[in-house]
Structure 1
Amino acid sequence: MLFDVGRLLHEEFLAVYRAAAADADGWEDAAVAVAHRVGSRLRSGKVPVAHVVVALRSTDRLLTEAMLDDGGDARALASAGTALAAELMSSFCVADDGLADAVLAGGAPDGAAAFYTVVSVRGALVDRVVNAFRRRGTVLRASSGHLLLPVSEGAALALCREVCAEIGGEVWLCVAERPAARVPLARREVDEIDALVSSLGRPPGVYRIDDMLFESALVETPEVRDELDRVVAPLLANPVLVETVLALLEADGNRAVAVRKLFIHRSTIDYRLWQIEELTGLSPVNPRDLAVLGTAIGMSRANAWG
């Protein structure tokens, strides 16, 4: 069955936008019913998720502009667009859980997009993150907890930052993009990024491999790993100094911020930093040396936990 998705959405959603623009009673219930009906029809027609996302954005823009020209309320129209998109994609994505697992396993079944950005989630309930993404378009959820977004990594980064801001608190999202047939590589990449971010005590936020290239290169070189183990051994014997390095890393090297995190005096952190350099030969006030120290501490923790 072939669909002109944009035309279908325009025809089905027009009445809801008109009702919302006029602040008519019951438009919210109508939005749920219409979106559910359209979602079922699109699923049965095996319309690719990526096509639905593009059509949703285009339809919302066109109908909103038309209603605003007629004096419609902008806030009500925004609410209508959000309600329709959320309900449509929620029903649409339920049937795609198996698709996410198949793509993560290396398959490219019917209905798969040409490429995906894989997202790992840590620090927040996956359901909350999924719902936040669905309000912005579409997301596939795999049984492993990984999320698949049928958008480029650049677009995914922007969405992830919006989601982090909405959820607040401590949430870490790691992203990597690949063509559909190579999605397993993206899954491996986000898992490796997340392991590094976790072991290094990086603050909540959104991460990709470009943010961790230096640390990744160190970890993957056996000779470097052995040298790091030797260098960091004296430091690991002093938990206070380890805590200081991690606080400085979390503060992006800003000693004033680290002092507040540690509840110590500025002269105290200066003395600790001097001790660290004496023990390791690496200066925590140098960004590259600080990154090396953080990576070494992360590696030692990962080895201890493994």
Structure 2
Amino acid sequence: MLFDVGRLLHEEFLPVYRAAAADTDGWEEMAVSVAHRAGSRLASARISIAHMVMALRSTDRLLTEAMLDDGGDARALAAAGTALAAELMSAFCAGDDGLADAVLAGSAPDGAAAFYTVVSVRGALPNQVVSAFRDRGPVLLATSGHLLLPAAEAAALSLCLDVQEEFGGEVWFSVAERPVARMALARREVDEIDALVASLGRPPGVYRIDDVLLESAVMETPEARDELGKVLAPLLANPVLVETVLALLEADGNRAVAAKKLFIHRSTIDYRSWQIEQLTGLSPVNPRDLAVLGTAIGMGGER
């Protein structure tokens, strides 16, 4: 059994070590994908952790030596071995990650909860976030990178905020709760939320559909998009005013905070706000108008 595990790891890991040795762009993402796949296979095969660790060490030694003989960079190879081992162990110890894929595919296999909150992650590797969540309770990781928390959305929001703080705040979470039979809808919803949050330049945080309801409705309504296009043209023609809107959005409408971020006086941001209202008929001082302006800018970035 040990020989079979070693052969599997050697075949799976060889392309990653080669890419790392050559400093090929994207080898880190390749390492995550390859190690997760291998770890899940070994977990499904009921390989003992002792056999898996022994094979992992042997594979790392053999591949590192081979790449060094070919002139590979020792530091990059060490980084590759560390990344592969961390992701492999995460996937192997999870044991039930295949359940997440099955649930997201629309089935309700044995062991599935009655409902889940689906979470998308941006700004950190999913396996790193999973480790943080597992310190707080059960979580499943799908091969797509989505997390499934067997918890109501309110509880999931609290967990996401805790994890975000642990990561220093530079992480975006999008969440949606559904019964297990409707997980595909939840997955689509969190992907749409994340896309909107990214396009609008929203700051790191935890987002629900309620946080982007206006933007979501606009994106799905051609008439509303056309109307926003009329707002969009004069605004996008002035990069300084666009920068001001984005700063106000990031500051949740707080003009003093936005002025500090832009290194300008409070009176300057008040004047720019007046200019924006004159150009568009929308006042960035009004939270609803500010949201509409942000949506217009987000749409403009996609054109």
Alignment match, 1:201: 201
Alignment of 1:273-288 (within 5 A): 273-288=273-288
Alignment match, 1:158: 158
Distance (Å, rounded) in 2 between the aligned partners of 1:170 and 1:230: 34
Alignment of 1:34-49 (within 5 A): none
Task: Establish whether residue 225 from structure 1 lines up as the match of residue 225 from structure 2.
Answer: yes
Distance (Å, rounded) in 2 between the aligned partners of 1:283 and 1:210: 22
Task: Establish whether residue 255 from structure 1 lines up as the match of residue 255 from structure 2.
Answer: yes
Alignment of 1:8-87 (within 5 A): none
| 1:244 partner letter | T
Alignment match, 2:143: 143
C-alpha displacement at 1:219, in angstroms?
2.2
Asked if the contact 1:93–1:138 (Cα under 8 Å) also holds between the matched residues in 2, the reply is no
Asked if the contact 1:93–1:139 (Cα under 8 Å) also holds between the matched residues in 2, the reply is no
Asked if the contact 2:91–2:97 (Cα under 8 Å) also holds between the matched residues in 1, the reply is no
Asked if the contact 1:171–1:204 (Cα under 8 Å) also holds between the matched residues in 2, the reply is yes
Q: TM (normalized to structure 2)?
A: 0.68
Q: Secondary structure at the match of 1:201?
A: coil
C-alpha displacement at 1:169, in angstroms?
3.4
Alignment match, 2:176: 176
Asked if the contact 1:102–1:109 (Cα under 8 Å) also holds between the matched residues in 2, the reply is yes
C-alpha displacement at 1:127, in angstroms?
2.1
Alignment match, 1:6: none
Distance (Å, rounded) in 2 between the aligned partners of 1:187 and 1:246: 28
| 2:183 partner letter | V
Distance (Å, rounded) in 1 between the aligned partners of 2:170 and 2:164: 8
C-alpha displacement at 1:92, in angstroms?
8.5
Asked if the contact 2:169–2:205 (Cα under 8 Å) also holds between the matched residues in 1, the reply is no
RMSD value, Cα: 2.0
Distance (Å, rounded) in 1 between the aligned partners of 2:156 and 2:122: 17
C-alpha displacement at 1:94, in angstroms?
2.2
The verdict on how the C-alpha distance between 1:230 and 1:133 changes in structure 2, with shifts beyond 3 A counting, is: same
Q: Secondary structure at the match of 1:175?
A: strand
Unaligned 5+ runs, structure 1: 1-39, 44-89
Asked if the contact 1:149–1:156 (Cα under 8 Å) also holds between the matched residues in 2, the reply is yes
Asked if the contact 1:229–1:296 (Cα under 8 Å) also holds between the matched residues in 2, the reply is yes
Count of matched residue pairs = 218
| 2:195 partner letter | A
C-alpha displacement at 1:270, in angstroms?
1.8
Alignment match, 2:97: 97
Q: Secondary structure at the match of 2:120?
A: strand
Distance (Å, rounded) in 1 between the aligned partners of 2:292 and 2:148: 32
Distance (Å, rounded) in 2 between the aligned partners of 1:179 and 1:150: 10
Q: Secondary structure at the match of 1:116?
A: strand
Q: Secondary structure at the match of 2:175?
A: strand
Alignment match, 1:123: 123
Distance (Å, rounded) in 2 between the aligned partners of 1:240 and 1:119: 35
Q: Which runs of 4+ in 1 moved over 6 A?
A: none
Distance (Å, rounded) in 2 between the aligned partners of 1:92 and 1:116: 22
Asked if the contact 1:105–1:184 (Cα under 8 Å) also holds between the matched residues in 2, the reply is yes
The verdict on how the C-alpha distance between 1:177 and 1:108 changes in structure 2, with shifts beyond 3 A counting, is: same
C-alpha displacement at 1:91, in angstroms?
8.2
Distance (Å, rounded) in 2 between the aligned partners of 1:128 and 1:243: 33
Q: Secondary structure at the match of 1:285?
A: coil
The verdict on how the C-alpha distance between 1:143 and 1:92 changes in structure 2, with shifts beyond 3 A counting, is: closer
Distance (Å, rounded) in 1 between the aligned partners of 2:133 and 2:170: 17
Alignment match, 2:210: 210
Asked if the contact 1:103–1:183 (Cα under 8 Å) also holds between the matched residues in 2, the reply is yes
Distance (Å, rounded) in 2 between the aligned partners of 1:222 and 1:208: 23
What whole-Å deviation, never above 9, does each CA across 1:6-60 have from its counterpart, x for those lacking one? xxxxxxxxxxxxxxxxxxxxxxxxxxxxxxxxxx9xx9xxxxxxxxxxxxxxxxx
Unaligned 5+ runs, structure 2: 1-42, 47-89
